[in-house]
Amino acid sequence: MIRQRRRALTPEQQQEMGQQAATRMMTYPPVVMAHTVAVFLSFDGELDTQPLIEQLWRAGKRVYLPVLHPFSAGNLLFLNYHPQSELVMNRLKIHEPKLDVRDVLPLSRLDVLITPLVAFDEYGQRLGMGGGFYDRTLQNWQHYKMQPVGYAHDCQLVEKLPVEEWDIPLPAVVTPSKIWEW
């Protein structure tokens, strides 16, 4: 249902909301202070990340994108992304940078990790796409200096999500209209 809501947005609405959310994200203190920021390429009606990526580049931030780990199923690597990066389609039909070990950044060196989500609630719980990639990535985020933050449309807010033992709540979610913090 939530995924249908975001898919129903017109291209104009998507573009406008992407710009608003990018502007708001660029005021979020962990992003302001960050040197390295992992983000994602929008897929299936997700909030458009292209305006955010461009603003991050203009601000001198190093941008990283998730790549499906080739040897460790269910895990992500984060590769440097720049305007000349070659993108390939992964097995989930999502674009990602072509794997080059020289471009991989360990999680311990990421300042901010911007995560996609299907829905979030008023308690910081997120519902992902079901693969568990970000739950595994975030399971020990407090041990790193990395600050995770969700990135979503306002229509993705729900009252309360069911919580499983492996679900990792987020300390913040940025939408076009608000920065939610817990």
Count how many Cα atoms sit within 13 Å of the Cα of residue 25 in the half-sphere of its side chain. Answer: 36
Confidence check: pLDDT of 115 > 90: yes
Residue with tokens 């940025």: 174
| 129-143 residue pLDDT tens | 777 888 888 888 878
pTM: 0.93
What local confidence, expressed as pLDDT, does residue 41 receive? 96
How would residue 83 be classed by pLDDT, with cut points 50, 70 and 90?
A: very high
Give the N- to C-terminal CA distance of the chain in Å, as an integer: 25
Binding residues: 41, 46, 126-134
Choose among 77, 81, 55: nearest CA to 67. Answer: 77
| 22-66 residue pLDDT tens | 999 999 999 999 999 999 999 888 999 999 999 999 999 999 999
For residues 73 and 99, the answer to whether their CB atoms sit within 8 Å is no
- List of domains in the chain: 2-181 (3.40.50.10420)
For residues 23 and 55, the answer to whether their CB atoms sit within 8 Å is yes
Please tell me the distance from the alpha carbon of residue 1 to that of residue 39, in angstroms, as a whole number: 24
Helix, strand or coil, per DSSP, at residue 149? strand
How would residue 3 be classed by pLDDT, with cut points 50, 70 and 90?
A: confident
Cβ neighbourhood burial of 95 (10 Å; 0-12, 13-18, 19+): middle
Q: Any idea what the Cα angle at residue 54 is, between residues 47 and 88, rounded to 5°?
A: 75
Task: Quote the distance between the C-alpha of residue 68 and its chain's center.
Answer: 14
What local confidence, expressed as pLDDT, does residue 132 receive? 81
Helix, strand or coil, per DSSP, at residue 110? coil
Of residues 124 and 8, more confidently modeled: 124
Binding residues for substrate: 41, 46
Binding residues for ATP: 126-134
What local confidence, expressed as pLDDT, does residue 1 receive? 76
Choose among 144, 131, 145, 134: nearest CA to 168. Answer: 134
Q: Indicate the average pLDDT of the chain.
A: 93
For residues 175 and 21, the answer to whether their CB atoms sit within 8 Å is yes
- What average pLDDT does this structure show over 11-17? 91
Angle between helices 50-58 and 11-25 (to 10 degrees): 30
How would residue 128 be classed by pLDDT, with cut points 50, 70 and 90?
A: confident
